[in-house]
């Protein structure tokens, strides 16, 4: 059982029921704050697939919008790119306690269970605001706007020089800005978005060769190489038929 709720200007709060199986998580360009087995973790900005272990109990996380993790941490997140680290190593005790308590309150609603009632889901939705407040984090509107411009440009396949022009900065400044907010560079963001676009097409039943063209890959072998790196498996594994 998996549930997620969008939190405006922040990201997505998600819960997952207990699952003993390990999983391969495709790269999505985001960073997550995760409470699992009473341990608060930070999954750094994701630019390649990550294998995660199962959990005997429900798990809750906040997936930050790409480009916001740097503001939350108050520093360059590139050091934890593609890593899972203990929150206590990089977040002060007070901030960690506030986030943990808010996440536990969300889990206590029972919304992550397979038989959750509408009332439990409504309570979960109402408490997402508590988590947002507990983070004591108000992103700079200019940073949010810039992140949206960068993500939209990457979705169009725009060159880095063109994005820098849109933001009124040099390409070197764009690299520094993205390292400090996204935790990775513009080329990595384009790779993640391209794989996500192909993944949606493949899951909807689009043939692999057509999905490669739709997403902007040079050919199907290019698609396969990128899927192995960013999704952890060949593209055929994600097709509706599994073949």
Residues of the chain with pLDDT under 70: 1, 18, 20, 240-243
What's the pLDDT at 164?
A: 97
Same domain, residue pair 213 and 183: yes
User: What is the CA angle 161-65-18, rounded to 5?
Assistant: 140
Residue 22 belongs to what domain range?
Answer: 2-134
What tens digit of pLDDT does each residue of 204-215 get?
999 999 999 999
Same domain, residue pair 175 and 228: yes
What's the pLDDT at 215?
A: 95
What's the pLDDT at 243?
A: 40
What tens digit of pLDDT does each residue of 54-71 get?
788 888 999 998 888 998
The Cα 3–Cα 42 span in angstroms is 19
Domain CATH for 61: 2.60.120
Same domain, residue pair 13 and 117: yes
What's the pLDDT at 158?
A: 96
What's the pLDDT at 151?
A: 95
Domain CATH for 176: 1.10.10.60
Helix (H, G, I), strand (E, B) or coil at 57: coil
Q: Which two tokens stand for residue 52?
A: 């995660």
CB 207 within 8 A of CB 236: no
- Global pTM reads 0.87
The Cα 153–Cα 27 span in angstroms is 19
Same domain, residue pair 50 and 159: no
Assigned domain for 243 exists: no
Q: Which two tokens stand for residue 84?
A: 């899972």
Same domain, residue pair 8 and 128: yes
């Amino acid at each position: 059982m998996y549930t997620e709720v969008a939190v405006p200007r922040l990201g997505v709060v998600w819960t997952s029921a207990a699952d003993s199986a390990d999983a391969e998580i495709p790269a999505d360009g985001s960073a997550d704050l995760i409470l699992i087995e009473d341990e608060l973790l930070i999954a750094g900005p994701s630019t390649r697939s990550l294998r995660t272990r199962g959990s005997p109990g429900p798990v809750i996380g906040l997936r930050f919008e790409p480009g916001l993790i740097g503001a939350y941490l108050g520093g360059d997140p590139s050091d934890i790119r593609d890593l899972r680290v203990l929150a206590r190593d990089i977040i002060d005790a007070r901030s960690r306690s506030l986030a943990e308590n808010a996440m536990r309150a969300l889990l206590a609603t029972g919304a992550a269970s397979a038989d959750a009632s509408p009332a439990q889901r409504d309570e979960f939705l109402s408490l997402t605001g508590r988590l947002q407040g507990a983070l004591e984090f108000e992103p700079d509107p200019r940073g949010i706007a810039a992140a949206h411009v960068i993500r939209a440009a990457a979705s169009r396949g725009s060159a880095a020089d063109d994005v820098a022009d849109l933001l009124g900065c040099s390409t070197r400044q764009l690299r520094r800005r993205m390292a400090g907010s996204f935790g990775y560079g513009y080329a990595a963001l384009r790779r993640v978005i391209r794989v996500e676009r192909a993944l949606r097409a493949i899951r909807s039943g689009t043939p692999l060769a057509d999905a490669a063209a739709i997403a902007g890959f040079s050919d199907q072998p290019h698609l396969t190489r990128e899927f192995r790196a960013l999704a952890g498996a060949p593209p055929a594994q994600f097709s509706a038929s599994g073949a």
